[in-house]
């Protein structure tokens, strides 16, 4: 892997981002918990961060593969919980594991390229990119940084990921949805979400003609790769959660969504449960569950009765046939 992605790591702009973080903290304090003021302060800080830190560096496009045909890579990045601190996880571990996932993407892509071109990659940002500090009462004691620092660290990490991908793919398309850990304030208090703020910071900084960013206003996103259509949700929309992965609830919800509630799609991708699995649904498609980069969670052991291994997911898609042709779980522990 080239060193360009590493050049935009957290330490490169720590002084500039520290100024932005301090400014955001002052704005949030002045908001005094009022929803409208809080959201406005967050939006202003996202815009100001791009002017303070400057634009992202230009990336030279790789040489295009002129062979006919080809496939498209599809990467699911979700549930980083950046900022969470356990016996085996913190912000630095998160950063290393995410970049390890990217390195594996590049190696697996080279294997696929031995048979056909792979010039394009779609990146699904599935939410819960930060841990936050207000989701439950004891949460401030289980993080290594404030929500403000988590937001800018996550934005810097996403930028590193995308710059590295732009070095190795001719086109990069991003799809994003928000997660429950990204909510600002108490549940239902504000319409905005930290995951969306993270995405906007990166969009303001990283402008490249080969980078497309689909940022929906809804809780879901539907992406297209030729004849293949995928539905992306975070996963917290399934409410029948009783202490383990609610397979029946997920299948029931996916079946309802595929019946015309949401426009036609082939497969569903979700995270939230920090667990790797897949299910068949009646429309002929599948539900792909992706894990988390996190490890050592006491909550998972006690409540979910599970100890998921750190992972993300990579698929390759045939855009003409409209189907997934290769499936990889990127194990990161």
Kindly indicate the confidence band of residue 40, based on its pLDDT and cuts at 50, 70 and 90: low
pLDDT score recorded for residue 8: 47
For the whole model, what pTM was predicted? 0.85
Q: What distance separates the 2 farthest-apart alpha carbons in the chain?
A: 59
* Residue 181 pLDDT exceeds 60: yes
Give the span between the Cα atoms of 220 and 6, in whole angstroms. Answer: 31
Give the residues across from 278 on adjacent strands: 288
Least confident of 34-38, 76-80, 132-136, 264-268: 34-38
DSSP-assigned letter for residue 10: G
What's the CATH number where 27 sits?
3.60.21.10
- Choose between 64 and 187: higher pLDDT: 64
Mean pLDDT of 282-308: 78
Kindly indicate the confidence band of residue 10, based on its pLDDT and cuts at 50, 70 and 90: very low
Give the span between the Cα atoms of 3 and 299, in whole angstroms. Answer: 36
Mean pLDDT of 22-34: 54
Q: Which two tokens stand for residue 177?
A: 């949805």
Give me the chain's average pLDDT, please.
Answer: 85
Give the residues across from 288 on adjacent strands: 269, 278
Question: Of all helices (H) and strands (E), which one includes residue 149?
Answer: helix 147-168
Range of the domain at 278: 4-61+69-331
Kindly indicate the confidence band of residue 208, based on its pLDDT and cuts at 50, 70 and 90: very high
DSSP-assigned letter for residue 35: H
Kindly indicate the confidence band of residue 246, based on its pLDDT and cuts at 50, 70 and 90: confident
Neighbours of 231 (CB within 10 A): 23
Mean pLDDT of 279-290: 94
DSSP-assigned letter for residue 202: H
Give the residues across from 123 on adjacent strands: 75, 174
Mean pLDDT of 280-309: 79
pLDDT score recorded for residue 137: 76
Domain count, the chain: 1
pLDDT score recorded for residue 307: 60
* Residue 9 pLDDT exceeds 70: no
Least confident of 24-33, 151-160, 267-276: 24-33
């Amino acid at each position: 892997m080239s060193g360009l992605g590493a050049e935009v790591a957290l330490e490169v702009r720590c002084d500039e981002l520290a100024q932005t973080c301090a400014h955001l903290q002052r704005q949030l304090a002045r908001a005094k918990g009022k929803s409208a003021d809080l959201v406005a302060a967050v939006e202003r800080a996202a815009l100001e961060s791009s002017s303070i830190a400057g634009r992202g560096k230009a990336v030279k496009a790789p040489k295009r593969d002129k062979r006919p045909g080809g496939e498209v890579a599809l990467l699911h990045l979700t549930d980083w919980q950046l900022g969470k601190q356990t016996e085996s996880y913190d912000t630095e571990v998160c950063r290393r594991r995410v970049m390890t996932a990217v390195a594996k993407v590049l190696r697996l892509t080279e294997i696929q390229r031995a048979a056909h071109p792979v010039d394009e990659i779609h990146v699904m940002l599935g939410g819960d990119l930060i841990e936050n500090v207000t989701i439950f009462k004891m949460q401030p004691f289980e993080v290594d940084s404030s929500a403000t620092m988590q937001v800018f660290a996550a934005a810097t990490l996403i930028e590193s990921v995308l710059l590295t991908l732009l070095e190795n793919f001719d086109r990069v398309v991003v799809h994003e949805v928000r997660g429950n850990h990204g909510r600002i304030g108490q549940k239902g208090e504000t319409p905005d979400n930290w995951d969306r703020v993270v995405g906007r910071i990166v969009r303001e900084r990283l402008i490249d003609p080969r980078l497309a960013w689909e940022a929906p206003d809804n809780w879901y996103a539907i992406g297209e790769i030729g004849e293949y259509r995928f539905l992306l949700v975070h996963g917290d929309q399934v409410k029948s959660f009783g202490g383990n992965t609610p397979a029946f609830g997920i299948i029931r919800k996916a079946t309802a969504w595929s019946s015309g509630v949401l426009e036609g799609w082939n497969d569903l991708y979700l995270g939230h449960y920090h667990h790797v699995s897949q299910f068949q649904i009646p429309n002929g498609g599948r539900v792909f569950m992706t894990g988390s980069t996190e490890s050592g969670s006491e909550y998972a052991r006690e409540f979910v009765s599970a100890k998921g291994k750190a992972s993300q997911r990579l698929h390759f898609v045939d855009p003409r046939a409209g189907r997934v042709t290769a499936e990889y779980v990127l194990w990161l522990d």
